[in-house]
Every structure is written in structure tokens, then in C-alpha cells.
Chains A and B, each alone.
Chain A
Amino acid sequence: MEILELNNISKSFGAIKALDNVTLSLRSGEVLGLMGDNGAGKSTLIKIIAGNFKQSSGTINFENQKVEFSKPMEARDKGIEVVYQDLALCDNLTAASNIFLTREIKRNFGLIKIINFSEMFKRAKDIFKDLKSETLPDEEVKMMSGGQRQAVAIGRTKLSKAKVVLLDEPTAAISVRQVAEVLELIKQLKNQGIAVVIISHRMPDVFAVSDRIAVLRRGQLVANKLAKESSPEEVTALITGAIEKA
């Protein structure tokens, strides 16, 4: 089933055309690798899907219904979550507190509402187990490795029962061992029927998890094909413009 369809999306910032007639769709349980040079329009596209920007023209369908998001909250309510490059975690809070931030589980004592930490720890533990990650719910995020931090950030999307997860450079700035951990997290999301878009500069990471590769160059979609029918060499050529279209 096509869960997300982008039809002829364009976006201009003044005279600059950041996206030019992009048509792209995504299925549940599919991992799409979105590639392109800096300024190719990847982030703009992600931000339009997530409700940060409004497209200048074109339509978005989500679960076969036309949607228009005026702010990120609306996209999130539908089940579209973004995990940003800077991760958006609070280092001074525990993993569980980060996952449940703004959605804390509470116990009511009359007018007083108390955070139910034991329940939050339990649920967070289950989420990490689902993701096959060894992250401890009661540990503060500042003590964690890059891979564990990604697990916390992705854990947030699990809590909201996201249907589409957009990952912005999930494997940048972490060690090789942790990259494997993060790629495993992405596979777990896929196995659970979640549609994943991964933006990355790291070719091997993208090819390791993606079913399909889409390449943007100067705002235009120049490739959208199955990963097994493409190759890192071809994608590099598409990104740089050595190959016009594929």
C-alpha cells in the first residue's frame, strides 16, 4: 500500500527554486534512501513532509487522503515523525524521560498528577527490546553512545506509533560499530511495517538498508529506482550530474 504520495511538489524561496516538480511515493515497510549533494533539496523535501514548510505547489496524499500540514504537530498527529540530525534529545534527562517527554505517563491523586516512572521505564524497556537495542531506560542520555542516542530518538517515534519515520543523517558523527547498531534499528522499523526515509551522505549505509534509492539534484528528482538495480557508482554519478537521469 502506498502510504505517502508526493505529487509534483515544488518549493521556491524567493527566486531560488529548492524543489522542482518532485513526484515520489512510499510504501509501508519500505526503506527509501534519499540522496543528493548539499543544497539539492533533501532537507526541504523532508521539512515539507514533516509540516515545517508548505509546498509552493503540488499535493501530498497520506493513506490515500489529501493532507495539508501547517505545523509539525499536525504531521506528527497523523503518524509522520522526523528524527533530526542533532537528535533533539535532552542530555540531562534519562532515556525514558526523553521518550515520554510531553507524553509522560501519570498517576492521578486528586488534583496532583505524579509521573509514573516505573511504568515509563517498563514501557521504554519494551521499546528498546523491540528495537533490539541495549539502551537502559533509566540512564541519562549524556552517558550514552551515538548509537544508543539514535535508539532513544527512534524510540520516541515508536511511542507515537509513527507510520512514516524520516531520519536525517542518522549515521553521521558516530563510530563504525555504532553505525551497525543504527542500521539494525532501521531494519527493525521496516520489519514492523513502518515506512522509513533515510537521508545520508554515506553511500554504504544507504545501500545496506534501503529498498529504493531516490536522488535529488538541484531540486529535481533524477532517479527513483530499486536499490538492487542500482549501484553506489551510479548514484554518485547521478548526484554529481555525470549521469543526467536514471
Chain B
Amino acid sequence: MTEQTLEKNKKKIKISNLHEIGLLIALILVLLLFSFTTENFFTQRNFTSILRSASYVGLIAFPMTFVLITREIDISVGPSVAWSGLFFVILIKWYDFSYFSSAAIVILWGILLGYFIGIARTKLFIPTFITTLALWSALRGYSLFVTEGRPIAISNKEFRYLFGGDILGLPTVTWIMLGAFLVFWFASKYTVTGTNFYAVGGNPKAARNIGINVDRVKILALIGTSLFAAIVGILFVARVSSGNANLADGMEFDVIAAVVVGGTALGGAVGTMTGTLLGCVFIAMISNGLIHWGIDPDLNKVVKGIIIFLAVVINSNVTFKSNSGGPKED
């Protein structure tokens, strides 16, 4: 085969598709592996459980995909989820707010938090890693301080059944996640806003030069993760009927792992929502399967660490030369 025809064949299959197909195959292999080696893995009940945990992660992983595409990162989402849930419960229990207005306040809080991270990045030039690392510590610490480490319980059956339970055989959170997936998938593929995320990640200098408001695009992406962390915080409360400072421990890791396993480059510019969705299911399935294997939960974390490392290795080798973005800006 000549060099030219090789080039042409390469073009036919997009690298992003290649990654998704590979991930889908890996997903099926893992499914088969756990199904044949354990008794209770291949059951409807267990699949619901996998879907449920994949859904909480997914709700934050979709906006996180945009954040990584624009060359930023948000590692504060775990503590942010815990604090948002706690804040929600505190408003109800201590200040007698209604469920609806509490939810509205917490969602507004999420938007403002993301806006703050975005302003710190674009106007004060503080890397998002640093700002969100500070928040990671501060939000968890404050949550523990306020509650003295004890959960605050709420009891409202309707709220629990509606948002923490199932609808038509699937967890409510899964329905919400699927809705969010459609919105994010659509936005990433067919809207100007979505295109701008990719343009900013691909070549920030060019994007700015052409007339895209790069700062606004980055702020918008960062509002996404904080907003969805707030929403997930509320949904967690519905599930466990309490606010808890220790909730969502290490969730930022699961979210970023799912996004990266899904094929999004940490260096920006590259990533798809379909990949992220598959990544969420993949991570949730592995965590679940390892429990069925009877592996210690602490070792579970080791396995996840290895998976994220391998995913980055594969990701950067598949996409290194062609995808690692354009010229750096700063």
C-alpha cells in the first residue's frame, strides 16, 4: 500500500470513534468476565445498582468533559457534592426553607461557585487546578466543621421515592442522567456553544483572535461542573435521606477517571460525550465487579488507579501526535 492510500484509510475512521469502539469492546469483555466468575453480578438488581452509581458520576462527568476540552480541570466536585447536599439539608432543617426553595438556593450556589472559579481563572489567572484544590479542602473541611462530622437526617418519603427511587424500572437519577446526556451530546455536536468549547481547547490564541470570547467559554464550562455537583448533592440527599460531610468521598477521581477513560484528553481539544458515558459505565462496572470478587474496597481504589493510568497511556498513544491540541496559549 502506498503512503497516500494509507493516509486515506486513516481518515475514514475518526480517532474518537476508534476510541469509543475500543471502549465498548472492553466494556463487553469486563461484563463477560464478571458475569462468568461471580454469581450475583449478572442480575437485574445488580445492573440497576451499577447504573445508579454510573448516573451520579455521569451527571458531573458530562460538564467535566467540556471543562477538560477547554484545557481546564475541576477537582473540587466531590466536596462540592457533599457540601451542596449538606447545605440543602441545613436550609430545610435549620432554617425551615421549603424543599423547592432550598433546591433553588443550592443550584444558585453551584452556579456562583463555578462563576467564581471561572473568574479566578480568566481575570486573576489562577490555574483551575489550584482554585479547585483549595475548594476541595475548604468545602470538605467546612462541611465537617458545621456538622461536627455527623449526618443530618431528613425524612420526606415523597422526596425520597421521587428523586432517590426508581421510575419505570430505572433509577430516577438514571433518567435524569440520560436526559443530561442527550442535552450535552447535542450541545457538543450541533451548537455554536459546543463548537466554541472545542475551538478554545484546540487553539485558544486562534479562538481569541477570531473573535470567540475565550474567557466566557471557560467560565461557562466551569459553571457546568459546579452546577451539576450541586444537583448531584441534592439527588444524593434524596437517596440517603440525610446530608453528610463525608459523602461523595473521592468522587472527583471517579468523574475525571470516567472522562479520561472515555477518551477525553487532559491536554484539551479532544473528547466526546458518548465516550464519557461509556467511561462512566466502565468505571462503575469495574468498581461493582471487584466488590463481587470480594476484593477489599481499599484495593478497589488501587485497581481504579491502574485503570486511569492505562487509559491515559492508551489515550495519549492513540491520539498523541494528531490530537494533543494546537499551540499553547499562556
Most buried by B among A101, A115, A143: A101
Asked if B206 lies at the interface with its beta carbon under 8 angstroms from chain A, I say: yes
Q: Which of B156-214 contact A (CB under 8 A)?
A: 190-192, 195, 198-199, 201-203, 205-207, 209-212
Asked if A234 lies at the interface with its beta carbon under 8 angstroms from chain B, I say: no
Asked if A194 lies at the interface with its beta carbon under 8 angstroms from chain B, I say: no
- Once A115-B191, A142-B323, A143-B11 are accepted as A-B contacts, the answer to whether A90 and B211 lie under 8 Å apart by CB is no
Q: A88 and B202: CB pair below 8 A?
A: no
Interchain nearest-CB distance for B86 vs A (Å): 35
Interchain nearest-CB distance for B138 vs A (Å): 34
Name the one of B7, B191, B269 contacting A92, with C-beta atoms under 8 angstroms: B269
Residues of B bordering A, CB below 8 Å: 7, 10-11, 190-192, 195, 198-199, 201-203, 205-207, 209-212, 269-270, 322-323, 325-327
Q: A114 and B202: CB pair below 8 A?
A: no
Task: Give 9 CB contacts A-B under 8 Å.
Answer: A88-B209, A89-B203, A90-B203, A91-B326, A92-B198, A92-B269, A101-B195, A113-B192, A115-B192
Q: B202 and A73: CB pair below 8 A?
A: no
Q: B325 and A91: CB pair below 8 A?
A: yes
Main secondary structure of the interface of A (DSSP, over half): loop
Residues in chain A near residue B269, CB distance under 8 A: 90-92
Q: B11 and A93: CB pair below 8 A?
A: no
- Once A114-B190, A115-B190, A143-B11 are accepted as A-B contacts, the answer to whether A93 and B195 lie under 8 Å apart by CB is yes
CB closest chain-A residue, reference B192:
A104
Interchain nearest-CB distance for B30 vs A (Å): 29
CB closest chain-A residue, reference B213:
A102
Main secondary structure of the interface of B (DSSP, over half): helix
CB closest chain-A residue, reference B212:
A102
Asked if A106 lies at the interface with its beta carbon under 8 angstroms from chain B, I say: yes
Report the 7 A-B pairs with minimum CB-CB distance, sorted nearest first. Answer: A90-B202, A88-B206, A92-B202, A92-B269, A90-B203, A91-B326, A90-B199
Asked if A135 lies at the interface with its beta carbon under 8 angstroms from chain B, I say: no
Distance of A93 Cα from B189 Cα, bound (Å): 11
Residues in chain A near residue B199, CB distance under 8 A: 90, 93, 97, 101
Residues in chain A near residue B198, CB distance under 8 A: 90, 92-93
Residues in chain A near residue B327, CB distance under 8 A: 86
Interchain nearest-CB distance for A138 vs B (Å): 10
Interchain nearest-CB distance for A115 vs B (Å): 5
- Once A115-B190, A142-B322 are accepted as A-B contacts, the answer to whether A90 and B205 lie under 8 Å apart by CB is no
- Once A86-B327, A115-B190 are accepted as A-B contacts, the answer to whether A92 and B270 lie under 8 Å apart by CB is yes
Residues in chain B near residue A113, CB distance under 8 A: 191-192
Distance of A106 Cα from B194 Cα, bound (Å): 13
Residues in chain B near residue A143, CB distance under 8 A: 7, 10-11, 322
Residues in chain B near residue A84, CB distance under 8 A: 209
CB closest chain-A residue, reference B7:
A143
Residues in chain B near residue A88, CB distance under 8 A: 203, 205-206, 209-210
Most buried by B among A97, A115, A142, A143: A142
CB closest chain-B residue, reference A106:
B192
Q: A114 and B206: CB pair below 8 A?
A: no
CB closest chain-A residue, reference B271:
A92
Q: Which of A98-116 contact B (CB under 8 A)?
A: 101-102, 104, 106, 113-115
CB closest chain-B residue, reference A142:
B322
Distance of A102 Cα from B210 Cα, bound (Å): 7
Q: A88-B205, A92-B326, A139-B11 are in contact. List 13 more A-B contacts (CB 8 A).
A: A84-B209, A86-B327, A88-B206, A89-B206, A90-B202, A91-B202, A92-B198, A92-B269, A92-B323, A97-B199, A101-B199, A114-B191, A115-B190
Residues in chain A near residue B205, CB distance under 8 A: 86, 88
Interchain nearest-CB distance for A225 vs B (Å): 33
Interchain nearest-CB distance for B267 vs A (Å): 11
Residues in chain B near residue A97, CB distance under 8 A: 195, 199
Distance of A93 Cα from B191 Cα, bound (Å): 14
Q: Which of A63-80 contact B (CB under 8 A)?
A: 72-73
Name the one of B191, B202, B211, B326 contacting A102, with C-beta atoms under 8 angstroms: B211
